[in-house]
Amino acid sequence: MKLFVRVMEIGEAAALAEPLPAALEAYAAAPRDPATLRERRAGLLLAARLYREVAGRPLPPLAFGERGKPTPTEGTLSFNISHAHRLVAVAVGEGELGIDLEPYLTATPERAARLSRRLSEGEAALLAAAPDKERAVLEAYVRKEAQAKRDGRGLSVLYEMDSTLPPRYEARPRDAEGEEYYLAVY
């Protein structure tokens, strides 16, 4: 099963000249906060670009799931988007997809302690052996969020996900400032 992933600076993606289906134009314009609006639009433009490159045609009409996840109504390809800090990431492939991206700069001891309280025994055992606990907890959280996004059930089920399951794809991209991120796709 093929999977295509693209990561880009948000400003660069927001400048893409890519047509969006009418349903996505409305979805892109929904946030009232200018930063969220820019991030969402950048993700959708990058998704439309990558989908066209992979499928050889524009994004088809979309249906929106119970929690707002857009899904193409035609064909076997789907997509998922994540944006964080300065980067946006998109995955396009067959079947349901979930992607998440977080900068390591958010891997603080306080956040690690908060997130660690919600880990399974298997996850806790893996993290106990990790040389950098803060980074390991952030990576576990990213894997959980990517799985929750794949399932389309939202973040309320985040802690039901198992971060010990290997992702279909993972990477550690850097933004233009050199900041490192962790990215996982399920």
Q: What is the CATH number of the domain that holds 72?
A: 3.90.470.20
Q: What is the pLDDT of residue 63?
A: 85
Whole-number pLDDT of residue 3? 97
Q: Give the DSSP H/E element, type plus range, for residue 40.
A: helix 34-55
Structure confidence at residue 144 (pLDDT): 92
Same domain, 44 and 90: yes
| Sign of the alpha-carbon torsion through 9, 115, 98, 132 | positive
Provide the pLDDT for residue 14: 94
Same domain, 126 and 147: yes
Q: Are residues 121 and 86 in the same domain?
A: no
User: Rounded CA gap, 27 and 29, in Å?
Assistant: 5
Same domain, 11 and 55: yes
Distances 45 to 5, 23, 113 between C-alpha atoms, Å: 14, 13, 36
Q: What is the DSSP letter of 83?
A: E
Q: Which domain holds residue 157?
A: 103-167
**Is residue 69 in a domain?**
yes
What's the pTM?
A: 0.90
Task: Check whether residue 134 and residue 107 sit in a common domain.
Answer: yes
For residues 107 and 95, membership in a common domain is answered with no
- 180 in any annotated domain: no
CA distance 79 to 96: 8
pLDDT under 70 in the chain at which residues? none
Q: What is the per-residue pLDDT across 156-183, written as a single tens digit (0 to 9) for each?
A: 777 788 889 999 999 999 999 999 999 9
What pLDDT, on the 0 to 100 scale, is given for residue 157? Answer: 77
